[in-house]
Chains A and B, each alone.
Chain A
Amino acid sequence: MADGHLHRLYRHGDTPVHRLPAHVKLLALVSFVLVVVATPREAFWAFGVYAALLAAVAAVARVPARFILRRMVVEIPFVVFAVLLPFIALGPTTQVLGVTVSQAGLLAGWNILAKGTLGVVASILLAATTDARELLLALQRLRVPPVLVEITSFMVRYADVTTGEMRRMKIARESRGFDPRSRRALAVVASSAGALFIRSYERGERVHLAMLARGYAGRLPVVEVQQAGAAAWARAAVLPVAALLTATAAWLTT
Chain B
Amino acid sequence: MHVPDGFLDVPTSIATGVVSAATIAVALKKSRQELDEKTAPMAGLTAAFVFAVQMLNFPVGVGTSGHLMGGALAAVLVGPWTAVLVLSVVLTVQALVFADGGLTALGTNILLIGIVTVLVGWLVSKAVLRLMPTKPTSVVPASFVGALVSVPAAAAVFVLLYMVGGATELPFGALMATMLGWHTLIGLGEAVITAATVGAVVAVRPDLVYAARGLQPALVLKGADGSTICAPEPIEPGAPVHGRSPWPVVIAGLGVAFLFAGVLSFFASSNPDGLEYVAGSEGFLERARDSAVGEFVLADYGEVGGVPVGVAGLVGVGLTILLGLALFGWIGRRGSRAQSTPPQPAQV
Determine if B201 and A197 form an interchain contact, defined as CB atoms under 8 angstroms apart.
yes
**A197 pairs with B197, CB closer than 8 A:** yes
User: Do B200 and A198 have beta carbons less than 8 Å apart?
Assistant: yes
A41–B95 Cα gap in the complex (Å)?
22
* CB-CB nearest in chain A for B253: A191
Q: At the interface, yes or no: B188 with Cβ under 8 Å from chain A?
A: no
- Whether B167 and A123, one on each chain, are in contact in the complex, defined by CB atoms closer than 8 angstroms, is no
B42 touches A148 (CB 8 A): no
A193 to B49, CA, bound (A): 10
Select one of B89, B200, B279, B293 contacting A194, CB under 8 A.
B200
Q: Let me know if A251 is at the binding interface, CB within 8 A.
A: no
Q: A71 — which chain B residues lie within 8 A by C-beta?
A: 99
What is the bound-complex CA distance between A225 and B104, given in angstroms? 30
B33 to chain A, nearest CB (A): 12
Chain B nearest CB, measured from A248 CB (Å): 16
Q: How far is the CA of A112 from the CA of B168 in the complex (A)?
A: 11
Residues of B within 8 A of A120 (CB): 99
Q: Do B256 and A187 touch across chains, with their CB atoms under 8 A apart?
A: yes
Q: Which stretch from A13-21, A53-61, A100-108, A173-181 is at the chain B interface?
A: A100-108
Contact between A119 and B275 (Cβ–Cβ < 8 Å)?
A: no
Within 8 A of A (CB), among B16-39: 28, 31, 35, 37-38
Cβ–Cβ < 8 Å partners of B43 in chain A: 151, 154
Nearest chain A residue, comparing its CB with the CB of B263: A186
Cβ of B104 and Cβ of A33 under 8 Å apart? yes
Interface residues of B in 264-318 (CB under 8 A from A): 273, 275-276, 279, 284-285, 288-289, 292-294, 297-298
CA distance A158 to B43 in the complex (A): 10
Check A104–B5 contact: CB distance below 8 A. no
Bound Cα distance from A200 to B52, whole angstroms: 13
Interface residues of A in 85-136 (CB under 8 A from B): 85, 87-91, 93, 99-100, 102, 104-105, 107-108, 111-112, 114-116, 118-121, 123-124, 126-127, 135
B215 within 8 Å of A (CB atoms) = no
Shortest CB-to-CB span from A95 to chain B, Å, is: 10
Known: A153-B44, A154-B45, A201-B45. A127 touches B201 (CB 8 A): no
Select from chain B the residue with minimum beta-carbon distance to A5.
B98
Is A6 an interface residue when CB atoms closer than 8 A count as contact?
yes
Whether, in the assembled complex, B331 has its beta carbon less than 8 Å from a beta carbon of chain A, the answer is: no
- A115 adjacent to B6 (CB under 8 Å): yes
Q: Tell me which of B5, B43, B203, B292 has the highest count of chain A C-beta atoms within 10 A of its own C-beta.
A: B5
Cα distance A127–B104 in the bound complex, in angstroms? 18
Q: Which of A188, A201, A205 has the largest number of chain B CB atoms within 10 A?
A: A201
Residue in B closest to A132 when the chains form the complex, CB atoms: B97
Interface membership of B250, Cβ < 8 A: yes
Closest CB in chain A relative to B138 CB, distance in Å: 17
B contact residues around A151 at 8 Å (CB): 40, 43-44, 47, 85-86, 89
Q: Which residue of B lies closest to A123 (CB)?
A: B99
Chain A hits for B205, CB < 8 A: 198, 201
In the complex, whether B319 has a CB less than 8 A from a CB of chain A is no
Q: Which of A73-81, A227-235, A238-246 is the interface stretch?
A: A73-81
Interface hub of B37, B89, B100, B259 (most chain A Cβ within 10 A):
B89
A75 vs B100: C-alpha distance when bound (angstroms):
7
Q: Are B4 and A194 in contact (CB under 8 A)?
A: no
Which residues of B are found within 8 Å of A217, using beta-carbon distances? 37
Minimum CB–CB distance from B144 to chain A (whole Å) comes to 14
- A208: Cβ under 8 A from any B Cβ: yes
The residue from A1, A102, A116, A152 contacting B93, defined by CB atoms under 8 A apart: A152
Closest chain-A Cβ to B270's Cβ sits at a distance in Å of 15
A156 to B37, CA, bound (A): 18
- Give B65's nearest chain A residue, CB to CB: A77
Residues of A1-44 contacting chain B, CB below 8 A: 1-2, 5-6, 9, 26, 29-30, 33-34, 36-38, 41
Measured CB to CB, the nearest residue on chain B to A208 is B41
Residues of A within 8 A of B102 (CB): 33, 37, 115-116, 119
Question: CB of A159 within 8 A of chain B?
Answer: yes
Give the CA-CA distance A187 to B254 in the complex, in Å. 8
Q: Say yes or no for B343: interface residue by CB 8 A criterion.
A: no
Supply 8 A–B pairs (Cβ within 8 Å), ascending by A: A2-B93, A37-B6, A77-B57, A90-B171, A111-B6, A114-B6, A155-B44, A155-B93
Binding site for A on B (CB under 8 A): 4-7, 10, 13, 28, 31, 35, 37-38, 40-45, 47-49, 51-52, 55, 57, 62-65, 85-86, 88-90, 93, 95-100, 102-104, 167-171, 193, 196-197, 199-201, 203-205, 208, 250-251, 254-259, 261-262, 273, 275-276, 279, 284-285, 288-289, 292-294, 297-298
| Supplied contacts A127-B96, A218-B37, 18 more A-B pairs, CB within 8 Å | A71-B99, A74-B99, A78-B63, A89-B294, A90-B294, A107-B168, A112-B7, A115-B4, A116-B5, A116-B102, A148-B28, A152-B44, A154-B43, A155-B90, A159-B52, A162-B49, A197-B197, A201-B45
Which 9 residue pairs are nearest across A and B when measured between Cβ atoms?
Answer: A154-B44, A194-B200, A190-B258, A123-B99, A115-B6, A108-B167, A77-B65, A155-B47, A108-B168
